[in-house]
Amino acid sequence: MDNEADVFYRQLPKVELHAHLNGSVSSQTIEKLIKRKPHLNIEHSMTAIGKGQRRTLDECFQVFKVIHQLVDTEEDILMVARDVIREFAADSVKYLELRSTPREEKSTGLTKKKYIETVIRAIQLCKNEGLDIDVRFLVAIDRRNGEKVAMETVELAEEFLMSSDDLVVGLDLSGDPTVGDGKSLLPALQRAKNCGLKLSLHLLIPLNQLHLVPSQLEESDLLLNLPPDRIGHGTFLHPEVGGSQSLVDKVLKNNIPLELCLTSNIKGQTVPCYTEHHFKYWYQLGHPSVICTDDKGVFCTDLSQEYQLAASTFGLSHEAIWKLSHQAIDCIFKWIDLQPQVFH
């Protein structure tokens, strides 16, 4: 759905818990980046998946590589993060957990530490601007970079956990699910957990609508034993689609909320159609399920549209949608008293 959401959804106070910074860059910001770097010959069509379009997951990951070429200086990161936060605020998102993979770029002097500092600066500047949104940051590990980088990333995140005025609250594990070995990342993730970083892990994202990479079930079983504090996608967890009851039981036993991203899953072809989205399975169980955007820029969506899509696909009333949005507060990593300010 690439059309505008109704006023109800637009005005609904919302909580966004699964948003990758560089996947969230809007077309307006891409325009500014392209102007800054005309020599790269990057066109808009290379950075977003428009209405009615589908891509393989592999092609989606190519899109992120193009955006990374455009965002490779502190100045770019600052602009991108500020624009993304302002856009979420304009969509009545009251609490946002942004996640991003720190990168170093030798040619521009960008280091991973500066990368995180810059995102934090953007969050503080938005606060000073008086935007009506609370923002926290999750440091992301791209699984393809292996265990050494994962451990270094955790150490860096740990430093910021102490020094960022509570803005860095957790760790995300993401990246191409077909690359890298999740098992080898366990020590890094365990360390993160031990030092107080909350964990959100991308789990069981299939290669396409029908196929998991065989090692994914075993890997997910191990990662669920940590246990994580939230799960990104979890597309193939339940037995009806090739997961297993024992995986579902672990999620239920530990009451681990799921972050669910409808448009992303359809455009990335990991779910065949909206009506078959696993939101239905978890929602019917009454399990904490949070509607999120994933990559609002790449998938040309926003959180209002995602709520409207959930409502129209699964026949949810305004009251049910209000409740769904409100319940997301229980899943945030940083306790803040949003309820009285925002929801009454």
**Residue 97 interacting with ligand 6MZ (CB under 6 A):** no
* Smallest distance, ligand 6MZ to C-beta of residue 339, A: 29
User: Looking at 14, 114, 198, 202, which residue binds ligand 6MZ (CB under 6 A)?
Assistant: 202
Is 170 a binding residue for ligand 6MZ by CB under 6 A? The answer is no
Q: Rounded CA gap, 150 and 144, in Å? A: 10
What are the DSSP calls for 14-52, one per residue? EEEEEEEGGGS--HHHHHHHHHH-GGG---GGGT---TT
CB of 343 to ligand 6MZ, least distance (A): 29
CB of 186 to ligand 6MZ, least distance (A): 18
Q: Compare residues 12 and 237 and give the one whose CB is closer to ligand 6MZ.
A: 237
Tell me, what amino acid is at 201? L
Per CB under 6 A, does 174 bind ligand 6MZ?
Answer: yes
Nearest of 247, 244, 276 to residue 260 by alpha carbon:
276
The token pair that represents 168 in the structure block:
């860095």
| Exposure on the CB side of residue 205, measured as CA atoms within 13 A | 28
Using CA atoms, how far residue 7 sits from 3, 89, 91, 241, 307, in Å, is 12, 15, 10, 35, 12
Asked whether position 60 contacts ligand 6MZ by CB under 6 A, the answer is: yes
Burial string for 78-93 (b: 16+ CB within 10 Å, else e) reads ebbbbbbbbbbbebbb
Which residue, 13 or 177, has its beta carbon nearer to ligand 6MZ? Answer: 177
| Least distance CB 319 / ligand 6MZ (angstroms) | 30
- Nearest approach, Cβ of residue 3 and ligand 6MZ (Å): 22
101 binding ligand 6MZ? (CB under 6 A): yes
From the list 216, 264, 293, 301, which residue makes contact with ligand 6MZ (rule: CB under 6 A)? 264
Locate 323 and state its tokens. 């409740």
Are 19 and 264 in contact by the 8 Å Cβ rule? The answer is no
Residues from 9 through 48 that contact ligand 6MZ (CB under 6 A): 20-23
Q: Binder to ligand 6MZ among 92, 100, 216, 304 (CB under 6 A)?
A: 100
Minimum CB separation from ligand 6MZ for residue 280, in Å? 20
Q: Report H helices in the chain.
A: 7-11, 27-36, 57-70, 74-90, 112-128, 146-163, 186-194, 215-224, 245-253, 262-267, 279-285, 303-314, 318-327, 338-343
Question: Quick check: 142 binds ligand 6MZ (CB under 6 A)?
Answer: yes
Supply the minimum distance, in Å, between the C-beta of residue 261 and ligand 6MZ.
Answer: 7
Q: Which residues bind ligand 6MZ (CB under 6 A)?
A: 20-23, 60, 64, 100-101, 140, 142, 174-175, 202, 205, 264, 268, 294-295
